[in-house]
Structures are given as structure tokens and as C-alpha cells.
């Protein structure tokens, strides 16, 4: 029996075939785009009718509002993250924070008061801090405190509650307590394999300017995509949740607290604007509205999505429920004392 061994085609034939395949791909790409455009033109009447429906208009309004509110602060956070990653040496954080993680947590929590941004800014900054060697417990305390106790947020809260100035102090105290408690809880129970920041692009051999803009481009594409996903989810839930549910929930104290806490997660309002929204819900108690203000900047849909993208799914699935529960308990405690 004769065994015939298959002989591969000559290199030049393979190259010619590869070139032909690539040429076919390039030729087919405009064709696919043309077909999609023709399909959109054909269905434009149906698309226009669907978008003109009240539900879709409400969806688009919420989606665009969340993106517009969050995007400037996301850019701010990305810029700060790039500055930390490129220009700040790791030794700076070793000097700035106490060596003991238990003391570094409240220091990092108080440091959140100096960042004029919302949760969209704090997530990439916290990710940069972890990558620069800051203890995760301290970085997470900063992540939770920065959106809730910075001067812009507290000023907006004072303006939204002119007859209840104690709401500003209550928000500051409750938010800082939650941030520190979660930092200490992570230090006690957290595991390194739960926290998986995404790989960073290598900037070795690049100048400071090139490394800075490379880091900016990476974080904008990474965090921005998760922001869009979270905004879409928030808009979908906002469009389908009946407002009558709020009226029914306000009649029971504990139910009202839980309802506004859940609403804060679903609406995903930027922390610079949430006080004005909840101030209008006068049928709810001050403690219930405090829960809205404490929960929202720490865990909402877009923030959860960004935490998944920055620190990993395993982290977010553990961190978010613990933060939500602790934020409600602290709101009840501080509300009973200060409100």
C-alpha cells in the first residue's frame, strides 16, 4: 500500500490565497455597511414610531441625563487616575498614608472630601490607587466616601434642603461611617483573589506625555463602556417602575427607607444632583431620604457596572450587597440621632 503524504501549497500560493481572502473581506465590508444602511432606511418609519412612544421618550430622557451628568466626572476621574499612574511615585502614598491599614482607612475616607466629583470619578481613581500599592481597604474607603462627602455634594445638599440643614451633617456622618466600616470589613475579611484590577497598557520606554494620554485613552474606553451599560439599565428600570409604588411605600417607615434605598440604586443619579431629586419626595421621612442620599453614591447600577469593569465581577458581587446593607443600617442609626 502506498501512502501519499499531503504536500502544503507553495508559500507564494498561500500568500496569494491570504491576500485574496483579505481582499474579499475588505470588499465585503462596504457591502455589509451598505446593506445595514438600506435596512435602516427601509425601517425608518417603524423606528421613528417606536422612538416616539412615551416609554421610549422617557427611556431616552433618563439615559441621556445619566450620561450627561456622569461623563464630565468620569473624565475628571480618568484624568486623576492617569496623573496618579504616571506622575505620582508609589513612595508618595507610603508617606501620605499611615503604615497601619486600620489607620489608613479613616485617613483615606477623609481624603475623599477633597475630590469634587461623583462615583464615576472615584472608581478609576480608586483603581489607580490599588495599582500604585495603596492598601485595598484604604482605596475602597476613598471610593465610597469621595462621591458623598466632597464639598460640591454637601453644598448641593444644603441648597436642596434649606429648611433641614441637619441633613448635610447627617449625610456626611453616615457616608463617612459606611466608608470606614467597609474599609475595615475588607481588611478583616477581604481576599486578594477577589480584587482583580484589569491589566494596564505597558508604558515602558514612553515619555510622560505619551504614557499619560495612553492611560487616559485606556480608562475612557474601559470605564466609559460600563457607564453606558449602567445608564441603559437605569433608564430601562426608570421607564417601567410605576410611580404609584412610591406612594404606597411612603406609608410605612421601614418600607419607605428600603424603597428609597432601592430607588437610589435603580435611578443611578449623579451624587451632585441626587439631593434635588429626593428633596422633592416630601411624602417620605427625612431618614428615608437620607438612605437615598447615602446609598446612591455608593452603589447604583452604573457604579456596579463600573466596579465590575475595574475590580472584577467577584469583587462587585460581594462588595455591593455588603455596602447596600451597611448603608441602610447607618442611615437608620444616624437618622435616629440627627434627624
More confident residue, 325 or 308: 325
> Which residue from 123, 116, 118, 113 is spatially nearest to 78, judged by alpha carbons?
123
Q: Kindly report, residue by residue over 256-284, the tens digit of the pLDDT.
A: 999 899 988 988 777 877 888 788 788 88
Q: Is 132 within 8 Å of 90 (Cβ atoms)?
A: yes
- Determine the Cα–Cα distance for residues 123 and 15; give it in Å rounded to an integer: 47
More confident residue, 256 or 25: 256
Q: Which helix (H) or strand (E) holds 140?
A: helix 136-149
**Which pLDDT does position 223 carry in this prediction?**
65
The answer to which of 162-171, 219-228, 307-316 has the lowest mean pLDDT is 219-228
Cell 447627617 locates to: 170
Residue 194 CB partners (closer than 8 Å, separation 6+) = 312, 314, 315, 318
Residue 39 CB partners (closer than 8 Å, separation 6+) = none
Q: Kindly report, residue by residue over 67-110, the tens digit of the pLDDT.
A: 786 677 667 767 776 777 677 775 676 677 887 878 989 998 89
Q: Kindly report, residue by residue over 194-242, the tens digit of the pLDDT.
A: 877 655 554 555 677 777 787 777 667 766 776 677 677 767 767 776 7
Cα distances (Å, whole numbers) of residue 45 to 34, 42, 61:
19, 8, 21
Amino acid at each position: 500500500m502506498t501512502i501519499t503524504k499531503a504536500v502544503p501549497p507553495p508559500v507564494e500560493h498561500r500568500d496569494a490565497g491570504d491576500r485574496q481572502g483579505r481582499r474579499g473581506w475588505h470588499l465585503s465590508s462596504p457591502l455589509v455597511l451598505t446593506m445595514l444602511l438600506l435596512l435602516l432606511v427601509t425601517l425608518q418609519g417603524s423606528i421613528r414610531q417606536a422612538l416616539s412612544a412615551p416609554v421610549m421618550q422617557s427611556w431616552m430622557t433618563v439615559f441621556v441625563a445619566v450620561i450627561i451628568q456622569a461623563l464630565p466626572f468620569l473624565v475628571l476621574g480618568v484624568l486623576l487616575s492617569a496623573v496618579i499612574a504616571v506622575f505620582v511615585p508609589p513612595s508618595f502614598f507610603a508617606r501620605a498614608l499611615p503604615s497601619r491599614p486600620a489607620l489608613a482607612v479613616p485617613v483615606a475616607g477623609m481624603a475623599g472630601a477633597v475630590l469634587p466629583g461623583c462615583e464615576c470619578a472615584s472608581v478609576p481613581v480608586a483603581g489607580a490607587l490599588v495599582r500604585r500599592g495603596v492598601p485595598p481597604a484604604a482605596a475602597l474607603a476613598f471610593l465610597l466616601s469621595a462621591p458623598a462627602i466632597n464639598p460640591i455634594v454637601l453644598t448641593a445638599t444644603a441648597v436642596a434642603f434649606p429648611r433641614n440643614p441637619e441633613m448635610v451633617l447627617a449625610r456626611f456622618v453616615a457616608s463617612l461611617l459606611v466608608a470606614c466600616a467597609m474599609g475595615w470589613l475588607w481588611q478583616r475579611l477581604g481576599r486578594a483573589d477577589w480584587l482583580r484590577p484589569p491589566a494596564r497598557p505597558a508604558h515602558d520606554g514612553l515619555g510622560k506625555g505619551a504614557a499619560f494620554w495612553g492611560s487616559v485613552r485606556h480608562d475612557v474606553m474601559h470605564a466609559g463602556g460600563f457607564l453606558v451599560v449602567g445608564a441603559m439599565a437605569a433608564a430601562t428600570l426608570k421607564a417601567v417602575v410605576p410611580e404609584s409604588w412610591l406612594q404606597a411605600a411612603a406609608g410605612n417607615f421601614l418600607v419607605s427607607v428600603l424603597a428609597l434605598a432601592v430607588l437610589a440604586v435603580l435611578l443611578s443619579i449623579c451624587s451632585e444632583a441626587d439631593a434635588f431629586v429626593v428633596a422633592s419626595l416630601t411624602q417620605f421621612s427625612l431618614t428615608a431620604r437620607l438612605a437615598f442620599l447615602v446609598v446612591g453614591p455608593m452603589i447604583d447600577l452604573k457604579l456596579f457596572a463600573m466596579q465590575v469593569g475595574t475590580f472584577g465581577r467577584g469583587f462587585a458581587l460581594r462588595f455591593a450587597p455588603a455596602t447596600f446593607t451597611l448603608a441602610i443600617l447607618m442611615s437608620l442609626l444616624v437618622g435616629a440621632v440627627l434627624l
